[in-house]
Structure 1
């Protein structure tokens, strides 16, 4: 029996333009990067760091995130398939990113960036990058909600969500819990940085 649970049957696709499909996940992923870049610009300006250095950091973070998230998905979740079909790893448009792989990719990207840019200490960069990364993580978890991914355990709490495309069990909206926690951490870190 369904009580007043929230029914979630939203398409993961926002719209299509011919063969190109724009998905909520991709849009939120990109927004996380753009808003993160905005906050990092303010941080670099406040600390009188070069915007050219920030641009290079941004490239390293984007490339590190995408490569790390893709390899994380392929090697953690289905290594036999991807090691047997290595060219499938390149087909990122087929989906499959892992946030823990993305984090590892960011750390490697920032490490390479700090080695190439004099005066850009690894810990300094990671400390500041953590602030917008929390907001980006929040956006990504909202993307997981649109994909009906990262489901919580079945429950009977009043705010339970039924993910219609997956099953008809009322579940904890684990993606929303994480999105809220990441957003709160972002606000705390932002406040701590600016005060």
Structure 2
């Protein structure tokens, strides 16, 4: 018996959340921003709970956003298409054109926390321990953004929870973004 498209989750969500007056806000960007706002609130609570001074967290949060985006963009350029970006270096900063790599973003966060360690006097392991929770939250929401973009999908499958990403093809696939989001949570 052949399976039908109705046997699977058909995913055809528009990646644009809001479009107004030539401005487009995409689900990915909105979830990225929400992730950092919730991450900031989480780390603020952790600092207060530990009796630490949270006064420097606003500045650190700005550094972490910059480090995440810069690291994710550089990671994408170096890991996925280095020949193109070496031939077109002016395209490297153009993160708004797409192309971010989470492992590059993770390296950017680690570097920013290491630099912050030197300024704050906190140990690097203490910082890594405290930032693990908000980092997982950020990762989870970014993977949901990947779902809305119909990217980072999995291998073909016939399992009943398979997604057909209509903007990609008509093949039922593992929702790898959801697996990873659940793993972060």
TM-score, with normalisation over the residues of structure 2?
0.94
SS at match of 1:154: coil
C-alpha distance in 2, partners of 1:75/1:20? 30
- In the other structure, the counterpart of 1:64 is 67
SS at match of 2:92: helix
- In the other structure, the counterpart of 2:77 is 74
> Which aligned segments of 4 or more residues in structure 1 are displaced greater than 4 angstroms?
none
Number of aligned residue pairs: give it.
Answer: 182
C-alpha distance in 2, partners of 1:19/1:108? 36
SS at match of 2:110: helix
- In the other structure, the counterpart of 2:147 is 145
1:17 to 20, 25, 29: 20
Query: What is the CA distance between 1:20 and its match in structure 2?
Result: 1.9
C-alpha distance in 2, partners of 1:63/1:109? 9
SS at match of 2:100: coil
C-alpha distance in 2, partners of 1:75/1:130? 25
C-alpha distance in 2, partners of 1:125/1:153? 36
- In the other structure, the counterpart of 2:58 is 55
Query: What is the CA distance between 1:18 and its match in structure 2?
Result: 2.1
SS at match of 1:51: coil
Query: What is the CA distance between 1:122 and its match in structure 2?
Result: 1.2
Alignment of 1:1-195 (within 5 A): 1-2=3-4, 3-117=6-120, 119-183=121-185
